[in-house]
Amino acid sequence: MTRALVLGGGGITGIAWEWGILAGLARAGVDLGSADLVVGTSAGSVVGAQVAAGLDADERYAAQLEPPDGEVAAAMGPAVLLRYGLAMAGPRTPKAVRARIGRMALRANTVPEAERVAVIESRLPVRDWPERALLITAVDAESGEFRAFDRDSGAPLVRAVAASCAVPGVWPPVTIDGRRYVDGGMRSGSNADLAAGYDRVVVLSPLPRGIGHMTPAATQVEALAARSRVELVSPDRAALAAIGRNVLDPAKRAAAARAGLAQADSVLARIRSVWNE
C-alpha cells in the first residue's frame, strides 16, 4: 500500500493551519508524515519540505505559536487584484492565463529576489532534498509551463520552495537554471493530481476553491477517487474565522495553528480510515 500527502497553498496562515492539523492527527496516532510521497504547493511546499525531512509535527506546530516579531504583513491589495483581473482577459486556456499572470509578476515592483530567497531560507529549517519522494510545484513565469521540482531536478531545495511561494504581484519570481518561476498555486491550489497512482491520498487544502482558472482541489480529488482512497480536508468555519481575510498576515498565524489543531479531532475518523486501516 502506497500513501501520498498533498499540502496545498494558503499563505502564512495556511502553513500554520496545516501544522495544526498534522500535529493534532499525530497526537491521535495518525502520522501523515509517514507518506511515501509528499506534494507541496506554495505554503504547502514549506510544510512539505519539513514533513518529508522527518521533522516533528508537534515541534513545528509549537513554532507557529511564537510571536511574529519583526515580520511584516503582506497583502494582495486592490492594485494586485486588478492586475490579476486584467491577466484573465484574453485567451482562457490555463497555460495562457498563467503566462499572463507570470508576465505581470515579472513587471511587478517587489522586494529584490535575493532578499526574498534569504527570508525563505531563514524560515526553512531544512536545506537539502530529503530521501523521501517530495514534489515542489511552480509555474514558469514566461511560458506558463507547470513544473514539479524534485531531488533529481537540479534545483536547490530553498529556491524550489521560494519559487513555489512566489505569489505573483506580491513576491518576486525566483530564478532556477536561468528561468523565472512563480507560485505553483497558479495552476491549482493543491496540485493533488500529482498523487495519481498512490493507493491512499490525504489532501490538506487551505484554499480549496482557488480563483479564476485554477483547478479546485475537489475536482482533482474526485478524479483521484476513481483509483485511490482519498480524503480532502479544508478549514472549517472556526478555522476560517481564525485565519481571517489576509492569509499573508503573520499576526494570524498562531490562531490559524490552534484552529487546525482543534479541527483535527473532527476529521480524525475519516483520515484514520484512509491512512491507517
Residues taking part in catalysis: 42, 183
CB environment 256-265: b (16+ within 10 A), e (fewer): bbbbbbbbbe
Output the CA torsion sign for 32, 261, 192, 134. Answer: negative
CA-derived radius of gyration, the chain: 17
Q: To 10 degrees, what angle do helices 78-88 and 94-107 make?
A: 140
Q: Which residues contact 5 (CB under 8 A, 6 or more apart)?
A: 32, 33, 35, 37, 38, 39, 48, 51, 201, 202, 204
Do residues 19 and 144 lie in contact, with contact meaning Cβ atoms separated by under 8 Å? no
